[in-house]
Amino acid sequence: MSSYLELKNIAKSFNTEKGKKIALKDINLQIKKNEFLTILGPSGCGKSTLLKIIAGFIKSEKGKLLKNEQLIEDSGLDRIMLFQEFEQLFSWQTVIDNISFAVKASAKNKNIKLTKRQIKEKSLKYLNEVKLKSYQDYYPHQLSGGMKQRVALARTLAAEGEIMLMDEPFGSVDSQTRQELQQLLAQLWQEEDKTIIFVTHDIREAVFLSERIVLMKNEPGEIIELVDNKLPHPRKRSSREFNQLFEQLQTRLQN
Amino acid sequence: MENKYRQRLVWVTVLALFWQLTAWSGLFSDLIFPGLDQIFLALLKSLKDGTLVKQIAFSLSIIIQGLIIAAAAALILALTAYFSKYADGLIDTLTALAHPLPGIALMPLILIWFGSGKTAILIVIIHSVLWPLILNLSTGFNSIPDIYTLIAKNYRLNKLEFMFKILIPASFPYFISGLKIAWARSWRALISAEMLFGAINSLGGLGWYIFQKRVFFDLPGVFAGIIVIIFIGVTVEDFIFKKLETNTVRKWGMLK
C-alpha cells in the first residue's frame, strides 16, 4: 500500500559551539491519510525540527518528503502549522479578522473569489467550531491563553489544508485548559477529514489524542518505535487501558 | 490621566501668577519683561488681523508636507533595506552618517543650493525626519517575531501581502515612536529654518514671525509667537499622538 505522506531518510544537523550536533538521523516514516499521529519524545530529540521539515520551513540535508508520491520542497497551505506561542495570532486584528486571514489565503490559493459576506460566514463557521463565536470582535490580548489557542486552532482549520501540523500547541496553558483543548481537538478530528501530526513531550496527551505514536529519543534524534493506539473514543484518562498504555510508553522512553 | 492635566493646569496658573507679579513689581522694564496682559493683547491682535493665523497655516502646511514626504520615503527605504542585503548596507551607512547631523548645520549649504524659499525649509524638515524614522522602522521590521515570517511562508503570502498584512502592522509601535521623534525634531528644525530663511511676500512662518517681532523690539509679540509654538507642540504630542496610540497600539495591546 502506498502511503499518503512519506518521509525518506530525513536528516538534519546543526553547528553549535561544541561542533556538529545531529538533530535528526535517518528518519523514515509513513503517514496515512486522515490519521492522528503523535511524535512523542524528550526535549532535544528533534521532534520540532522534524515537524518544521514537514512544514517546509527548513530543508532536510538528505532524503526526501513525498505526498501522494509527489516530492514536496516548499511550505504550503496543505500543511498548516499550529504553534505553541500565543503571539502567532495577529495582535492588530480582531479574532474574526485573524480567522478571515486564513480564509482569504486559502481562497486565493485555490483561485476562488469570495465575497466579503462569504468570508465572514466562513470565518464565523470556524470560530463556532472552537466555540468562541461570541468573542469575534475581541482583540487577542483581551483573551486568555486557552482562548487564544482556540482562535489559533480555528485559523488553522480555516486554512482548509489536508494536513495540520501542531507543535506542542497546548504547552503554554494550565492543565485544566489543556484537557479542554485536547477534548476539543479529539472531537474536531473525529468530525473532519484531517491528517494531524502532533508533536508533544506529554505522554498522556499523546495517548489521549492519537491513533499512532512515534517514539523518539535524543542524541541523535531517532525513531525508536511506532506504537498503535486503538483505544476507543471517547477516551477516559482514568481507565485501566489508558494508564497501561501510558506506562508502556513511559518505560519505553526511559530506556 | 485627568489628574495629570489638572496638575498641569494648577502649575501653569502658579507660574503665570509668578510671571505677572514679577512684571508688576517693576523690577524690569516692561519693554523687556512684558506682563501677561500685554502678551495676550498682542496675541489677540495678531490673531484678529489674521497675520498670526497665516503664519501658523504656513508653518503647519510645510511641516505636514515634510512629514508626509519623509514618512513615505522612510517607509520605502526601510522596506527596501529589509528585503535586500545590499540596500540595507547602503541605507544603514547613509543613516549612520546623516542621523547625527543637525538640520541647522546644513542650512548654509541649502541656502546656496536651493535659495531661501519653501523648498529649502522643506528639505531641512525632511532631513530631520527621514533618518530617525528609517532607524525606527528598520528596528521595528527586524524585531518582529520569527513566527510571523513562518506564518507568511505557510500561508503563501507574497511580498506585498507580507508587508501590508504583517510587517507594517507588527512594527507599528516602532513607527509611532519614530513619528514622535520625527515630529519633535522637525518642529524644532522648522522654527529655526524659518528664522534663517526669512519670508517671501511677508509669509515666513512662526519662526519668522518671532524673528520679525524682535527686530521691532515687540516683546509681547515675541512671547505671543512662543505661546503659539508651545500650544501647537503640546497639542500634537498630547492629543494627536495620544489619539493615534489609543486607536492602534493601545487597542491592540501592543503598548501597556
Within this chain, do residues A98 and A114 fall inside the same structural domain, yes or no?
yes
Same-domain pairing of A44 and A20:
yes
Q: What is the pLDDT of residue A92?
A: 96
The pLDDT tens digits for A122-171 are: 999 999 999 999 999 999 999 999 999 999 999 999 999 999 999 999 99
- Identify the three-state secondary structure at position A213: strand
A211 located within any domain? yes
State the amino acid at position B140 in one-letter form: G
Task: Please identify among residues 155-214 of chain B the ones whose CB lies closer than 8 Å to any CB of chain A.
Answer: 155-157, 165-166, 169-170, 172
Q: What is the pLDDT of residue B225?
A: 93
Chain B residues with beta carbon closer than 8 angstroms to that of A111? none
This model of the complex carries an ipTM of 0.92
* Interface contact flag, B155 A105, Cβ < 8 Å: yes
What pLDDT is recorded for position A178?
A: 92
**Predicted confidence band at B256 (pLDDT cuts at 50, 70, 90)?**
low
Q: Supply the pLDDT for residue B159.
A: 93
Do A117 and A183 lie in a common domain?
no
- Within this chain, do residues A96 and A221 fall inside the same structural domain, yes or no? no
Domain contains A226:
yes
Question: What is the overall mean pLDDT for chain B?
Answer: 91
CA gap A66, A69 in Å, rounded: 5
Instruction: Give how far Cα B147 sits from Cα of A84, A97, B24, Å.
Output: 10, 18, 66
Residue showing cell 521623534: B181
Say if residue A38 is in the same domain as residue A58: yes
| Residue A68 to residues A31, A61, A109, B153, B225, Cα–Cα distance (Å) | 11, 21, 19, 22, 76
pLDDT tens digit string along A170-186? Answer: 999 999 999 999 999 99
The SS3 call for residue A143 is coil
DSSP string, B164-209: IIIIHHHTHHHHHHHHHHHHHHHHHHHHHHHHHH--BTTB-HHHHH
Give the pLDDT confidence score for residue A45 in this predicted structure.
86
pLDDT band at A25, cuts 50/70/90?
A: confident
Whether A167 and A231 share a structural domain: yes
CA-CA distance, A196 to A206, in Å (whole number)?
12
| CA of B252 vs chain A CAs: smallest distance (Å) | 5
Q: Given pLDDT bands bounded at 50, 70 and 90, which one contains residue A52?
A: very high
Query: A102–B156: do the CB atoms touch at under 8 Å?
Result: no
Record: contact B253-A79, CB cut-off 8 A = no
Report whether B31 contacts B23 (CB < 8 A).
Answer: no
Mean pLDDT value of segment A63-78: 90
Domain of residue A103 covers 89-160
ω into A220 cis (within 30 of 0):
yes
Q: Binning pLDDT at 50, 70 and 90, where does residue B199 land?
A: low
CA of B69 vs chain A CAs: smallest distance (Å): 26
Distant-in-sequence, close-in-space partners of B126: CB < 8 Å, separation ≥ 6: B66, B69, B70, B73
pLDDT attached to residue B111:
86
Instruction: Report yes or no: B142 and B203 within 8 Å, Cβ to Cβ.
Output: no
**Cα of B77 to nearest chain A Cα, Å:** 24
Q: Report pLDDT for A93.
A: 95
A25 and A148 in one domain?
no
- Predicted local distance difference test score (pLDDT) of residue B104: 83
From A127, A160, A193, the end of a domain falls on: A160
**CB proximity list for A255: less than 8 A, separation 6 or greater:** none
Q: Are A101 and B165 a contacting pair at CB < 8 A?
A: yes
Per-residue pLDDT reduced to its tens digit, B152-167:
999 999 999 999 999 9
A2 has pLDDT over 80: no
CB contact under 8 Å between A57 and B248, yes or no, is no
B254 touches chain A (CB under 8 A): yes
pLDDT tier for residue A90 given thresholds of 50, 70 and 90: very high
Q: Is A46 on the interface with B (CB under 8 A)?
A: no
Domain count within chain A: 2
In degrees, rounded to 5, the angle at the alpha carbon of residue A57 between the alpha carbons of residues A160 and A112 is 30
Q: What whole-number percentage of chain A has pLDDT above 70? A: 99
Q: Which of A160, A189, A219 is the last residue before a domain boundary? A: A160
Q: What is the pLDDT of residue A15?
A: 85
Residues with Cβ within 8 Å of B226's Cβ and at least 6 positions away in sequence, in order, are: B210
The answer to whether the Cβ–Cβ distance between A87 and B147 falls below 8 Å is yes
Q: Write the pLDDT tens digit of every residue in A220-238.
A: 888 988 989 889 988 888 8
Distance from CA of A154 to the nearest CA of B (A): 14
Same domain, A124 and A48: no
Q: Supply the pLDDT for residue B75.
A: 95
For chain B, say whether A80 makes contact (Cβ under 8 Å): yes
Same domain, A240 and A166: yes
Report if residue A83 sits inside a domain: no
According to DSSP, the residues that pair with A213 across neighbouring strands are: A38, A227
Q: What is the CATH number of the domain that holds A63?
A: 3.40.50.300
Residue of A nearest to B146 (CA): A88
Residues 6+ apart with CB under 8 A from A211: A35, A36, A37, A228, A229, A230
| A45 closest CA partner among A196, A215, A249 | A215
Grid coordinates representing A241 are 487501558
Q: What is the pLDDT of residues A188-214, one digit of tens each?
A: 999 888 999 999 999 999 999 999 999
Tell me the Cα Rg of chain B.
Answer: 22
Residue A207: per-residue pLDDT? 93
Instruction: Answer whether residue A1 shows pLDDT above 70.
Output: no
Structure confidence at residue B3 (pLDDT): 83
Q: What is the pLDDT of residue B1?
A: 63
Residue type, A161: G
Question: Do residue A66 and residue A128 come from a single domain?
Answer: no
Shared domain for A71 and A168, answered yes or no, is yes
The pLDDT of residue B42 is: 92
- Asked if the C-beta of A142 comes within 8 angstroms of chain B's C-beta atoms, the answer is yes
CATH 3.40.190.290 at B51-205, yes or no = no
Tell me, yes or no, whether A209 and A228 share the same domain: yes
What is d(CA A250, CA B177) in angstroms, rounded to the nearest whole number?
A: 52
The chain-wide mean pLDDT, for chain A, equals 91
Residue A11 belongs to a domain: yes
Among A1-5, A179-183, B98-102, the range scoring the smallest mean pLDDT is A1-5
Q: Distance from first CA to last CA of chain B, Å, rounded? A: 14
pLDDT of residue B176: 93
For A159, the closest of B155, B170, B251 (CB atoms) is B155
Range B33-47 average pLDDT? 92
